[in-house]
A and B are shown apart, each in its own frame.
Chain A
Amino acid sequence: MTEDPRPFLITGGTAVNRSGDIVADVLVDDGRVVRVEPGLDVALPAESSGGPRRIDASGCLVSSSFVDLHTHMREPGKEEAETIATASQAAALGGYGAVVAMPNTDPAQDNVAVVEFVRLQGARSGLVDVSPSACITVGRNGTQLAPFHSLAAAGVRLYTDDGNGVQDPLVMRRALEAARELDITLAQHCEVSRLTDGAVMHEGCCSSRLGLPGWPAIAEVLMLQRDIELVRETGAKMHFLHLSTARSVEIVRQAKNDGLPITAEVTPHHISLTDERLATFSAIYKVNPPLRTMEDIEALRAGLLDGTIDAIATDHAPHAPHTKDQDLAAAPPGMLGLQTALGVALGHSGCSARRVVELMSWAPARIAGLEADHGGDIVAGTNANIVVFDPSMSWYQTAESIVSKSVNTPYLDTPLTGKVRHVSYRGRLTVENGELA
């Protein structure tokens, strides 16, 4: 990996650290943060006199770059929708320094060879750390356990059959016993599939009026309840993906009060869009789990504020346009997320910028097992994985600005708040002034 040979100085920003915010300039050299002090801009030689490059962060916050727990990179298998290279570009523009690659590829990430391939492609792209997750069951078929020992030895920390919930309680119980043994984390997509057959949207007033098959909240709640009891029994660590219902927040809150080792994420779209969007019958709004009601959104926001929900994760799910230009039953679920996540989080979560940094960087880095390189404070000696963002800038995403190979974003007509200005990945500027460097 090439590193920017020239040091640079991030000037005029406010560093967001656990101990508090500090107004300081940040000097980066040779891949590391070297100094974090006010007044460096004046103290150090000017750029024209051979001093460090100046990167303007006036009015901006400077924090550890974001970590996405939930990115579908589509490679290998669906390169027409997205590649690891294009997803990495979208991630960098979104302020990310690391993403967890979801394992529902083709072939699936259920063996060391595919996991290593994904990691290698990420390194070749060189814009973010691509941390492969792996399946819980072989081929995500829900029956045969993935080779956890081999995968754990290859460094995989997070396991999921995302897209499918693990339906069989026997398989889930055995998987959690293995997870406890190996100190790995299982991440569940909570959906009792028998209750969601053919579903394309949230089951409720809107689906009743539109005559669309509904995905009831209880299908998420039942699996969440089951797995929490399995965690209580096994003591394994478990992460709950893209929670979407008000009741789910209550259940997780109670389980955390009980001291269980669980974590949970929500997506930007589940805190900003409701099922009423489906009245347009546009497949852009088909997502799994589905967009729900304002009542659910309010409960999810409350969960983000009080710590019940640990992380905001994108569930970035590119789909080629021709696959979305179908009827709602045939179109695959999912929407883009990486480039808009910060703008939605700051504009729609109700959380402070500091809390958003915690939700998008500190906590997901810990959950993904990436805390050695990510989610740290901006202090001398750390890896220079840094995002500089303007927390109050209002903007709209344009179709032309999408760098994913797919364009299935729901946010072209939604105002967003908070924009990524610059990103340093391992001390190299990957994004400058909101564009790929």
Chain B
Amino acid sequence: MKHLISLDDIGRDELVGLLDTADRMAEVLSRPQPKVPALRAKTVASLFFEDSTRTRLSFETAAKRLSADVMTFSAASSSVNKGESLRDTVETISAMGVDVFVVRHKTAGLPHAITTWTDAHVVNAGDGAHQHPTQGLLDAFTLSRAMGRGNDLTGVRVAMVGDIRHSRVARSTIRSLTLLGAQVTLVAPASLLPPSLIDAARGRVDPAWPVEVSHDLDSVIGDIDVLYLLRMQRERMDSAFISSPNEYSAHFGLTASRLGWMRPGAFLMHPGPMNHGVEFAVSAAELAAQGVTNLITTQVTNGIAVRMSVLFSLFSIDSPEAAHD
């Protein structure tokens, strides 16, 4: 694997390979000394044009556990770039000797563009509303392992709820879960669906999206194995997407009464950061009482192993114990 830009670029076998490698990385992380020499003398540069401490820390931790050297570049994407193009920036850093760029940008497509500007490997750490492939991988990893189903999620029913339209997590996680056989239903008001899915609930489907679509969480929530909540940004009411956070919460949030309709044994997932009181308005005790397993912290933990798997898989190395020189 030269780059990881979009999960649309990989098939089921490659996905399973990455998840199986993540199992091996999780084993490494469980050791007293959780570190292997696989990427010794490799340089991983995290190129974050958009703030994201969590994802950056997760990638940098993963790189360090593989013994790579880590460079950090962060610049708010809104900053005026004094006549320099993004291509100039990438070429300059590349000239310092970089093997892998881990890229986050507010605009879809920039990581792909960077693959044409450098010989280094490029891993997309989130680009606009396009893709966040390592999130999709860690979600598939977390769910399949929590359910004890190996790499097979056939028949597992997932409801993904919230702002699908603006969500790169949705585009990646829908791909990874459906590749493993899960049935995904998107639940959102029409305004927060991608434009090509606005009429999907009335039967006008876009074949690029292998999902069901619903506008009614109450009719879906009792039949699912997994409730995947997306972050609802409070600013969305500024562009008339919703009336108010309260309106959203009342119809699409996980409230105590809605939790009461969930099946015991179901799972709860969220990519973070959580918006308490908007999409998520229940307590840990209420979840436990309903028998719903909260996977949110597990998702974060698994992020390290999955990102180690991705970085490792960029290079052709047999075993993480072997150094690649």
> Footprint of B on A, CB under 8 Å?
197, 200, 203-205, 207-214, 216, 280-283, 321-323, 325-330
Given A211-B108, A211-B168, A281-B113, CB of A325 within 8 Å of CB of B197? no
C-alpha gap A212/B106 in the complex (Å): 10
> Interface of B with A (CB < 8 Å)?
8, 77, 83-88, 105-110, 112-113, 117, 127-131, 168, 171, 194-197, 206, 208-209, 239
Top-7 shortest CB links A-B: A281-B109, A211-B129, A208-B194, A325-B87, A211-B130, A327-B107, A208-B196
- The closest CB in chain B to the CB of A212 belongs to B108
For A211, what are the chain B residues with a Cβ–Cβ distance below 8 Å?
Answer: 108, 127-131, 168, 171
A329–B106 contact, CB under 8 A?
A: yes
A-B contact pairs, 16 of them (CB 8 A): A207-B195, A208-B194, A208-B208, A210-B130, A211-B108, A211-B127, A211-B129, A211-B131, A212-B128, A281-B110, A281-B113, A323-B85, A326-B87, A327-B106, A327-B110, A329-B128
Chain B residues near A197: list those with CB within 8 A. 239
- Known interface pairs A211-B130, A212-B130; A325-B195 also in contact (CB < 8 Å): no
Contact present for B195 and A214 (CB under 8 Å): yes
Interface centre among B86, B108, B194 (most CB of A within 10 A): B108
Nearest Cβ on chain B to A237's Cβ, whole angstroms = 35
In whole angstroms, what is the CA distance A211 to B85 when docked? 23
Residues of the A chain whose Cβ atoms lie less than 8 Å from the Cβ of B195? 203-204, 207-208, 214, 216
Query: Measured between alpha carbons, how far is A260 from B128 in the docked complex, in Å?
Result: 44
Shortest C-beta distance, A239 to chain B (Å), equals 30
Query: B75 → chain A, closest Cβ, in Å?
Result: 12
Cβ contacts under 8 Å, B128 to chain A: 211-212, 329
Instruction: Report whether A327 and B171 are in contact in the complex, using a CB–CB cutoff of 8 Å.
Output: no
Q: A208-B194, A209-B209 are in contact. List 15 more A-B contacts (CB 8 A).
A: A203-B195, A205-B206, A208-B197, A210-B109, A211-B130, A212-B128, A281-B109, A281-B110, A283-B113, A327-B86, A327-B106, A327-B109, A328-B107, A328-B108, A328-B110
Task: Write out the residue numbers on chain B whose beta carbons fall within 8 Å of the beta carbon of A205.
Answer: 196, 206, 208
**Across the interface, which residues of A come within 8 angstroms of B87, CB to CB?**
322, 325-326
List chain A residues, Cβ under 8 A from B206: 205, 208
Minimum Cβ distance to chain B for residue A212 (Å): 5
CB closest residue in chain A, given B116: A282
